Amino acid sequence: MDFITGGVLCIALLLILMATGLQIGLAFVLSGLVVSSMLLSTKSALSLIGQVSYFSIATPTWACIPLFILMGSFAALGGFARRAYNGVNALSQGIPGSLGVATCYSCAVFGAISGSSIATTAIFGKMALPEMNRLRYDKTFSVGCIASAGTFASMIPPSMMMIIYALFTQQSVGKLFAAGIIPGFITATVYSLSIMYRVKKNPELAPSGVSEKKSQTFGQKWTEAAQMWPVIVIAVVVLGGIYSGLFTPTEAAAAGALITLVFGWALGTFRRMSTVVTAMKDSANTTAMLFLINVGALFYSRVLAVTRLPTELTMMLQNFDVPRIFILIGILLIMFFLGMIMVPVGIYALTLPIVMPMLISLGYDPIWFGVIALKLTEIGAITPPVGLNVYAMKGVIPRESNISLEDIFRGIWPFCLCDIVVLIILIIFPQLSTWLPEVLLG
């Protein structure tokens, strides 16, 4: 078997194994192991997987992943999402669809201390949905808004997917974090404008129910908004520490986890040691699962590189006499459809080894493309059949609400269109992603 055929077989075998329902980390390992054994030898294949398992994660960058996960667990159990939601909700009173707008911006704010879109969706599903139901919001509108807004935690730093993208492409984590800030808040703003327009056009989506908060004075609203201060302080310490040069990303993650724990204890939410233990157990389980997927994905991408399939495809496409934008659109369409059937790490492992050399040779900025790739995975998180945020939303909805998966998927499509609009804006104006990293890190 020649190496190119081996590369094609490697991709086909991965897709077949995933179709059988095998855990994606094991699918990466098994498909890579089979193909590398056929092309090299069993001994060489085992040696390669041993080297990748150690050397791919024996870097300081990997240490920040469990620490950021721990910080997010502390934030979730410490009531910081409730503070963000109440604070933003106080400021948004009087706006059409105010609870939807509050959900969008509070998810963006909470995303600054939580890197998990699934956790953010579950937390805000428990908080925002009962209030929306109380004010007689349309249920499809409500669940679609919460499930979609939960994706902001992937774009707003610190983002787990940004770190994983950095590991696959050898880019700066700090620059990727900075690149996601403006696009993240642009998305929240586009969502909010869409909500206000839709509610004005169809008031039945969000009836103007009387809320006790509408009688608050301007000063009282800002007093309630001020309860977001722990979230803001944590975000400033983590991101400010990275961009000032005081912390590496790993040190910033450790500082963020420690400060989140201290604030949780000081504010009374971590009075029991069992709460801390629960957060650490959850973080350990998530880290173990993520590391298995990442090691398998990195091994798979290394085997794919050995087959020279990515290099050959790059050279072939470079010889095509077409504008580079058409090649970019083709790559984006492939990643868009993969997002409907695969988890983000799997998409990165399958596509980045092939497309990244090609994009760089065409003159595209890898930091900018990291934002584009993450926006595509955000869209994939809410589109069928593998819309992980949709299933997270379904998992926290009480049975008596009678809301089906079909209702949630129907509710997310207007927000999915907003994501596509933002994606087009980011492609047309790459400076929205690259300006802040250049200002902060040069």
> Six-digit token pair at 255?
């500082």
Per-residue confidence (pLDDT) for residue 182, from 0 to 100: 93
In angstroms, the CA 113 to CA 409 distance is 27
Kindly report, residue by residue over 297-306, the tens digit of the pLDDT: 788 878 887 8
Per-residue confidence (pLDDT) for residue 41, from 0 to 100: 87
Report whether 36 contacts 44 (CB < 8 A). yes
Per-residue confidence (pLDDT) for residue 212, from 0 to 100: 43
Q: How many CB atoms lie within 10 A of CB 65?
A: 24
Better-scored residue on pLDDT, 385 or 6: 6
In angstroms, the CA 409 to CA 416 distance is 10
* Mean local confidence (pLDDT), 178-182: 92
What is the distance, to the nearest Å, from the Cα of residue 280 to the centroid of all Cα atoms in its chain?
21
* Mean local confidence (pLDDT), 337-362: 81
* Mean local confidence (pLDDT), 398-411: 85
What pTM was estimated for this model as a whole? 0.82
Instruction: Please provide the average confidence, as pLDDT, over all residues in the chain.
Output: 85
| CB-based contacts of 80, cutoff 8 Å, min separation 6 | 110, 113, 230, 231, 234, 260, 263, 264
Alpha-carbon distances, residue 311 vs 29, 35, 180, 353, 357 (angstroms): 22, 18, 29, 9, 8
Per-residue confidence (pLDDT) for residue 187, from 0 to 100: 94
Q: Name the pLDDT band for 293 (thresholds 50, 70, 90).
A: confident
Kindly report, residue by residue over 259-278, the tens digit of the pLDDT: 999 998 888 778 788 888 88
In angstroms, the CA 328 to CA 331 distance is 5
Kindly report, residue by residue over 366-397, the tens digit of the pLDDT: 999 999 999 998 898 888 876 788 888 888 88
Amino acid at 180: G
Torsion of CA 145, 149, 150, 154, to 10 degrees: 150
Per-residue confidence (pLDDT) for residue 308, from 0 to 100: 79
Per-residue confidence (pLDDT) for residue 208, from 0 to 100: 64
pLDDT at residue 320 is higher than 90: no
Per-residue confidence (pLDDT) for residue 68, from 0 to 100: 87
Kindly report, residue by residue over 65-117, the tens digit of the pLDDT: 888 888 888 888 888 888 888 888 888 877 888 889 999 999 888 888 877 78
Per-residue confidence (pLDDT) for residue 144, from 0 to 100: 92
Kindly report, residue by residue over 191-242, the tens digit of the pLDDT: 999 999 999 999 888 876 444 445 567 677 778 778 888 888 998 999 889 8
Report whether 122 contacts 395 (CB < 8 A). yes
pLDDT at residue 186 is higher than 90: yes
Kindly report, residue by residue over 164-176, the tens digit of the pLDDT: 898 888 888 889 9
